[in-house]
């Protein structure tokens, strides 16, 4: 068990080190293809760009598809200003308040990567008398390039253009007390848990009773990651994503969260009940919650028309879509819930 958890923590650090804002995910999925093959599986890339892997299993007409996503929040260059600063448009739910003063990378299509910082326009407090009262939005934010530029022409000469990807620094670390802190734990932490479960099955030569697939999706942050590539015979979509932590909810970072309902409506009553029963049987530290502002890959599959049951679990993650925090105990409880439910 400890070796699996160690592997999961190694994988989350590896995944977090690979920039993968929605729409720019080839590098991270190439890594996943290599890792699944190293574990002894035969993954395939979907046309859409996700990674689909058959983990084996006996009952092929009642299969379960585990889903996590490796696309993250980010931004795209929307305008090169006359002074050489960059206006950006967010990718996914990136919030300007959380992006302010963050280091970032501007990934050009043909001319390499440049560094910069996301700042409020006119960001000097000693100069801007309206600094405190300015409501942060991407309309008043910009990227300052760490290059000697003072005009649009200077920026274009570097090979930067509108449509280039902006990736924010994740600032990942794991503390001695077991806290996992980083941007984009949503959902690279749960993607790593799925890799850990795949490793567990292979190393212990376990053939599950039900066929199990894993799909690591790449467009979840814009709502359609799980809307395709559900294999024939799948009757259940189980999204493994971040568990919400905040006021009015029960979950904390040390727990596995079981979602009963989110913005898209209730999850499968039977599946949620089964997950709760397993969590109780295994004496796991868990919470059941209703998420007020949330959507998942499992819901995307239902909206796409698949006739399946759907569920959502994940380790508790605080400060979602900001500088997020979870804990190794939440990872353990999530892994053990998967293990107890699927075998």
Question: What are the strands, taking DSSP E only, across 241-332?
Answer: 243-245, 256-262, 265-266, 286-290, 309-318, 324-327
List the catalytic residue out of 220, 236, 253, 324.
220
Give the pLDDT confidence score for residue 226 in this predicted structure.
97
Q: Are 159 and 112 in contact (CB under 8 A)?
A: yes
Give the pLDDT confidence score for residue 253 in this predicted structure.
98
Please, what's the b/e burial string for 11-25 (b: 16 or more CB within 10 A of its CB; e: otherwise)? bbbbbbebbbbbbbb
Distance CA 198, CA 210 (A): 14
Handedness of CA 135, 141, 144, 149 (dihedral sign): negative
Structure tokens belonging to residue 208: 């599950």
Distance CA 55, CA 43 (A): 9
Task: Enter the DSSP assignment of 21.
Answer: B
- Walk me through the domains of the chain, giving residue ranges and CATH numbers: 2-72+184-342 (3.40.630.10), 74-168 (2.40.30.40)
Q: Flag residues of the chain having pLDDT under 50.
A: none
Q: What is the secondary structure of 164-229 as a DSSP string? A: -EEEE----EE-TTSEEEETTHHHHHHHHHHHHHHHHHHHTT---SEEEEEEEES-GGGT-TTSS-
Measured in whole angstroms, how far is the alpha carbon of residue 286 from the centre of its chain?
21
Please, which residues have CB within 8 angstroms of residue 322's CB and are 6 or more apart in sequence? 95, 98, 183
Identify the CA nearest to 182 among candidates 4, 327, 26: 327
Report pLDDT digits (tens) over 2-45.
999 999 999 999 999 999 999 999 999 999 999 999 999 999 99
- 324 catalytic residue (yes or no): no
Identify the CA nearest to 331 among candidates 172, 178, 175: 178
* Phi (first) and psi of residue 39, to 5 degrees: -75, -10
Q: Check residue 334 and give left, alpha or beta (phi > 0: left; psi -120 to 50: alpha).
A: alpha
Bridge partners of 257, per DSSP, are 287, 314
* Phi (first) and psi of residue 226, to 5 degrees: -95, 20
Residue 13 is inside which H or E element, if any? helix 2-16
């Amino acid at each position: 068990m400890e070796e699996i958890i160690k592997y999961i923590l190694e994988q989350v650090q590896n995944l977090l080190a690979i920039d993968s804002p929605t729409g720019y995910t080839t590098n991270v999925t190439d890594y996943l293809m290599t890792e699944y093959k190293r574990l002894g599986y035969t993954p395939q890339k979907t046309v859409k760009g996700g990674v689909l892997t058959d983990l084996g299993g006996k009952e092929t007409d009642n299969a379960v598809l585990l889903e996590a996503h490796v696309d993250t929040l980010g931004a795209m260059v929307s305008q090169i200003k006359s002074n050489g600063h960059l206006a950006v448009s967010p990718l996914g739910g990136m919030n300007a308040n959380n992006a302010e003063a963050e280091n970032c990378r501007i990934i050009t299509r043909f001319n390499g990567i440049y560094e910069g910082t996301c700042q409020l326009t006119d960001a000097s407090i000693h100069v801007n008398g309206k600094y405190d009262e300015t409501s942060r939005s991407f309309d008043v934010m910009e990227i300052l390039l760490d290059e000697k530029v003072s005009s649009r022409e200077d920026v274009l000469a570097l090979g930067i253009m509108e449509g280039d990807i902006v990736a924010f620094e994740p600032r990942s670390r794991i503390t001695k007390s077991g806290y996992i802190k980083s941007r984009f734990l949503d959902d690279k932490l749960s993607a790593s848990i799925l890799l850990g479960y795949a490793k567990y099955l292979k190393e212990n030569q376990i053939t599950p009773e039900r066929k199990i697939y894993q799909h690591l999706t790449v467009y979840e942050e814009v709502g359609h990651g799980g809307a395709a590539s559900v294999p024939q015979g799948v009757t259940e979509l189980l999204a493994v994503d971040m568990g919400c932590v905040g006021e009015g909810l029960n979950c904390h970072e040390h727990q596995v969260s079981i979602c009963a309902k989110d913005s898209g409506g209730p999850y499968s009553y039977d599946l949620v009940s089964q997950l709760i029963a397993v969590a109780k049987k295994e004496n796991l530290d868990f919470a059941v919650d209703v998420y007020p502002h949330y959507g998942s890959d499992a819901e995307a599959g239902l909206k796409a028309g698949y006739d399946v049951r759907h569920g959502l679990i994940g380790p508790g993650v605080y400060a979602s879509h900001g500088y997020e925090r979870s804990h190794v105990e939440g990872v353990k409880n999530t892994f053990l819930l998967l293990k107890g439910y699927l075998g």
